[in-house]
């Protein structure tokens, strides 16, 4: 089981979010991050946020939002693209959900 974080905010809010998750990391909780809406741009960076890399966050981006913003050609290797069924599956597998949109 893991903590699922749905993030749709701007990049500057990601720092606060990751800071607030530090206790979860300390407990060894696995954190999965789903990027939605404008936050999908974070998946398009050639180098996604260093903090995400450092914390080894499993990162997903929602296919529909990626297509809408034409981000497909620029996706970072680490980011996995999911459709709505994949998102539901992640929800079902998670112990709890943090929604930050």
Partner 1 sequence: MTRRLCSIEEVNTITKSALIIIKSSESKSKETFEGLRIAMSMIGMDMMPKLLFCDEAVSFLWKDNKHRNDEKYAHYLETLAEMAGIKVLSTSLEDRHLLLCDLIESLNPQVISPSQASKLVSESDLILAV
Residues that bind partner 1 (CB under 8 A): 9, 12-13, 16-17, 19-24, 27, 96-101
Q: Given the complex with partner 1, which of 18 and 61 has the nearer CB atom? A: 18
Give the nearest distance from C-beta 39 to partner 1 in angstroms. 12
Q: Could you give the residue ranges of the DSSP H alpha helices within the chain?
A: 11-20, 22-26, 41-44, 50-54, 63-68, 84-93
Q: Given the complex with partner 1, which of 19 and 47 has the nearer CB atom? A: 19
HSE, CB side, 13 Å, CA atoms: give it for residue 76: 20
Is residue 38 within 8 A of residue 8, CB to CB? The reply is yes
Give the nearest distance from C-beta 21 to partner 1 in angstroms. 7
Q: Given the complex with partner 1, which of 67 and 101 has the nearer CB atom? A: 101
To the nearest 10°, the Cα dihedral for 70, 90, 21, 26? -130
Give the nearest distance from C-beta 72 to partner 1 in angstroms. 28
Give the nearest distance from C-beta 56 to partner 1 in angstroms. 17
């Amino acid at each position: 089981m893991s903590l699922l974080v749905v993030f749709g905010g701007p990049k500057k809010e990601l720092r606060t979010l990751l800071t607030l998750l530090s206790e979860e990391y300390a407990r060894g909780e696995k954190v999965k991050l789903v990027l939605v809406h404008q936050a999908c741009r974070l998946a398009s960076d050639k180098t996604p946020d260093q903090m995400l890399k450092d914390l080894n966050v499993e990162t997903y981006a929602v296919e529909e939002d990626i297509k809408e913003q034409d981000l497909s050609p620029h996706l970072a290797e680490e980011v996995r693209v999911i459709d709505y069924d994949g998102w539901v599956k992640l929800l079902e597998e998670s112990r709890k959900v943090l929604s930050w949109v």
